[in-house]
């Protein structure tokens, strides 16, 4: 088997499947991860995300996750929205959902696409007399995808800590195929952020203590998705009308002028919805509305908590009646958020 020709054919297959980029690196290509990860954890920047500290050895060393792997194929899939999401933040009586969560759950879509590419890899290797094994990962295992993506030449981790590229901006999902095949590795990408700090300056909660470092405890995506219980009252006004995730630091990146629009229409969906309507969702209504969406995983109570914070920030006194209807909600965090919203709207 000619490894160079095989890799070329593999990339062609990946692009046919809808990925915007593919690169290859070795499992030991990210020696900087342990130091960065431990500094992040020791500072407590992970907040309630205890799973980041679990199996930390695997996160630090991809080779420990599957010792038989000889190459890691990294793939990027675009979910770029068709318009700038920042103006949506002016619609104060509507809740705004992060661009990646407006359609179908990317875990399912990307994993199926990865498996098809992986199946091709196995079959084509067998046709050429090689035996190949694979494992595929999409944000569901202790894999340092962004660091591996940079090592594989897909892009670099910007000052907002997300992977971005000169070719397709920073609206992307990452997937990994670990394989026992020895494939030619790509050169790692270098940093092209320069002196730009737009992503740092736009963050409403100042979640970046310094460039390339994120304090998740102040990040709106973390607060609206991962954080359980009441959000710090000092941070609530800064959430605005964001009810699931935040796109500010991504949306403002100048490299997005090269972003490739999402090729899969299943990522398209409703960007905003009336806060009064969302606040009245019971558990069954929430599950029905967000079936197949990544939003479903946070549950009705945390979602309605976010909606009530947005109601409190709306400046629309008529929404106080909606909040009052939730003062006796069985979930105390929801009831407390209702009290806070009413107090905000009553001045």
Tell whether 228 is in a known binding site: yes
Tell whether 300 is in a known binding site: no
Q: Identify whether 61 is a catalytic site residue.
A: no
Tell whether 221 is in a known binding site: yes
Report how far residue 346's alpha carbon sits from residue 137's, in angstroms, rounded to the nearest whole number: 48
* Whole-number Cα distances in Å, 60 to 33, 42, 69, 142, 178: 6, 14, 15, 9, 16
- Torsions phi, psi of 158, nearest 5? -75, -175
Tell whether 289 is in a known binding site: no
Asked if 47 and 217 count as a contact pair (C-beta separation under 8 A), the reply is yes
Tell whether 172 is in a known binding site: no
Which candidate, 86, 45, 346, 83, places its Cα nearest to that of 240? 86
Tell whether 55 is in a known binding site: no
DSSP H/E element including 338:
helix 332-345
Report how far residue 190's alpha carbon sits from residue 90's, in angstroms, rounded to the nearest whole number: 36
Tell whether 146 is in a known binding site: yes
Q: Which of 2, 84, 108, 139 is catalytic?
A: 139
For 126, half-sphere exposure in the C-beta direction (CA atoms, 13 angstrom radius) is 8
Report how far residue 24's alpha carbon sits from residue 3's, in angstroms, rounded to the nearest whole number: 12
Tell whether 296 is in a known binding site: no
Three-state secondary-structure class, residue 261: strand
Cβ atoms < 10 Å from Cβ of 165 = 25
CA 254 and chain centroid, separation: 19
The tokens for 301 are 């109570």
Following DSSP, what letter does each residue of 65-80 receive, concatenated?
H-TT--EEEEEEEE-B
Tell whether 235 is in a known binding site: no
Q: Which residues contact 253 (CB under 8 A, 6 or more apart)?
A: 158, 160, 164, 169, 170, 198, 199
* Whole-number Cα distances in Å, 61 to 14, 24, 214: 26, 16, 21
Annotated binding-site residue numbers: 59, 139, 144-146, 163, 174, 193, 196, 199, 203, 219, 221, 228, 246-247, 249, 253
Annotated binding-site residue numbers for tRNA: 228
Annotated binding-site residue numbers for cob(II)alamin: 59, 139, 144-146, 163, 174, 221, 246-247
Annotated binding-site residue numbers for [4Fe-4S] cluster: 193, 196, 199, 203, 219, 246, 249, 253
Active-site residues: which are they?
139
């Amino acid at each position: 088997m000619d490894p160079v020709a095989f890799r070329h054919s593999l990339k062609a297959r990946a692009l046919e499947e809808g990925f915007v980029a593919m690169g290859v690196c070795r499992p030991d290509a990210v020696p900087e991860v342990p130091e960065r990860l431990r500094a992040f954890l020791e500072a407590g920047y992970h907040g309630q995300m205890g799973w980041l500290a679990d199996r930390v050895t695997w996160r630090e060393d991809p080779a420990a996750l599957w010792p038989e792997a000889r190459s890691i194929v990294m793939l990027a899939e675009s979910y770029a929205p068709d318009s700038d999401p920042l103006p949506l933040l002016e619609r104060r009586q509507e809740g705004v959902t992060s661009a990646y969560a407006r359609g179908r759950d990317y875990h399912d879509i990307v994993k199926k696409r990865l498996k098809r590419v992986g199946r091709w890899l196995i079959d084509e290797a067998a046709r050429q007399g090689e035996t190949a094994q694979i494992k595929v990962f999409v944000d569901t295992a202790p894999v340092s995808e962004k660091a591996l993506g940079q090592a594989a030449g897909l892009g670099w981790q910007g000052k907002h800590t997300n992977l971005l590229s000169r070719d397709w901006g920073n609206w992307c999902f990452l997937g990994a195929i670990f394989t026992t095949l020895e494939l030619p590795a790509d050169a790692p990408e270098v940093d092209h952020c320069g002196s730009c700090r737009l992503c740092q300056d736009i963050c409403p909660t100042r979640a970046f203590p310094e460039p390339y470092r994120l304090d998740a405890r102040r990040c709106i995506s973390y607060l609206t998705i991962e954080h359980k219980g009441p959000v710090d009252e000092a941070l609530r006004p800064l959430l605005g009308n964001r009810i699931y995730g935040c796109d500010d630091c991504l949306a403002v990146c100048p490299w997005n002028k090269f972003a490739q629009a999402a090729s899969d229409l299943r990522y398209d969906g409703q960007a905003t919805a009336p806060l009064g309507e969302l606040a009245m969702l019971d558990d069954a209504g929430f599950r029905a509305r967000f079936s197949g969406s990544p939003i479903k995983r946070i549950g009705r109570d945390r979602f309605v908590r976010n909606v009530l914070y947005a109601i409190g920030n709306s400046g629309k006194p008529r929404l106080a009646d909606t909040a009052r209807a939730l003062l006796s909600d069985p979930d105390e965090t929801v009831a407390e958020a209702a009290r806070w919203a009413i107090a905000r709207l009553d001045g």
